[in-house]
Structure 1
Amino acid sequence: MTGKVKWFNENKGYGFILGDNGKDIFVHYSEIREDGYRTLAEGEVVEYELMDSPKGPQAKGVLRSQKRGEDATPSVEAA
């Protein structure tokens, strides 16, 4: 599934993804699949597996749809 990061609190290590179905999906930093410091930015598009938990839908195996850095957004250099 895919969705957009609604918000993510780095200090608390969790946030919510707005799923393509319009529902809020809980995401914990431990489910972000990348090396180093795991965080997400508001508005970032992610892919994930959806699982049910006692508190509602939760994202598992979260991956960025596009890597950060040069490939993510073309930069504008000052002349």
Structure 2
Amino acid sequence: MQLEQKQLVAPTPHPVRGTVKWFDQTKGFGFVVADDGGPDILLHANVLRNFGQNSIADTTEIEILVQETARGMQATQVLSIGEADCATLSEMPSVPGFEGDLEDLEICAARVKWFDKAKGFGFANIFGRTEDVFIHIETLRRYGFADLQPGEAICIRVAEGERGLMAVEVRSWDMATRS
């Protein structure tokens, strides 16, 4: 008697653009809504960490590789993270005292000193420098972050604000290596 072998072949992951519906860092997962519609897509914290981020803000644009599993659609890789849809970015507060072009500012490698989501701010230190750099939660949200952890490596662009150095852009630590 010969047993028939069934081979389960998982469909090849395919790229999907969408928006983060919600992500709970404590639970370790969240969901993405595809621009083309369809079921919600599970985004696990490990997939996000492999991209270099520990958190992501709701309404952030994201491009992911998606694979259908027995439990539904699941992100297998983050390809890119855009900006959060905060009505329009022009409605977000500007950095007091900074009116230049972000591209003119150097991208600096930094490490988070502390960040308190409830207070809405925190500080980071640029590698090789002693000054603290202020990070406001709205700057985080603008670039797709929901929170930062002490010791987390990030890339920032910094400007001199009214009270000292301020992050005007916050990106994942490996931003400089991505094309």
**TM-score, structure 1 normalization:** 0.76
SS at match of 2:33: strand
Higher Cα Rg, which structure: 2
State the partner residue of 1:65. 81
Say if 1:44 and 1:64, in contact at 8 Å, map to a contact too: no
Residue 22 (structure 2) pairs with residue 7 (structure 1): yes
**Where do 1:20-59 residues align within 5 Å?**
20-23=35-38, 24-32=40-48, 33-35=50-52, 37-59=53-75
Please give the per-residue CA displacement for 1:3-35, whole angstroms capped at 9, x wherever unaligned.
000000110110100011222111101111333
**Counterpart residue number, 2:104:** none
Q: State how far apart, in whole Å, the 1-side matches of 2:24 and 2:75 are.
A: 15
Name the structure 1 match of 2:11: none
Q: Which runs of 4+ in 1 moved over 6 A?
A: none
Q: Secondary structure at the match of 1:31?
A: helix
Q: Which runs of 5+ in 2 are unaligned?
A: 1-15, 98-179
Given the superposition, is the C-alpha separation of residues 64 and 41 from structure 1 closer, same or farther in structure 2, using an over 3 Å criterion?
farther
CA RMSD in angstroms comes to 2.3
Amino acid at match of 1:31: V
Normalized per residue, which structure has more helix? 2
Higher RCO structure, 1 or 2 (CA under 8 Å, sep 6+): 1
Alignment partners' CA distance in 1, 2:74 and 2:63: 12
Identity %: 28
Number of aligned residue pairs: give it: 74
CA–CA separation in structure 2 for the residues paired with 1:39 and 1:63: 15
Instruction: Write the distance in 2 (CA, Å) between the matches of 1:10 and 1:63.
Output: 19
Please list every run of 5 or more consecutive structure 1 residues that lacks an aligned counterpart in the other structure. none
Match of 1:19 among 21, 31, 34: 34
More displaced, 12-21 or 25-34? Answer: 25-34
Match of 2:95 in 1: 77
Tell me the amino acid that sits aligned with residue 64 of structure 2.
Answer: Y
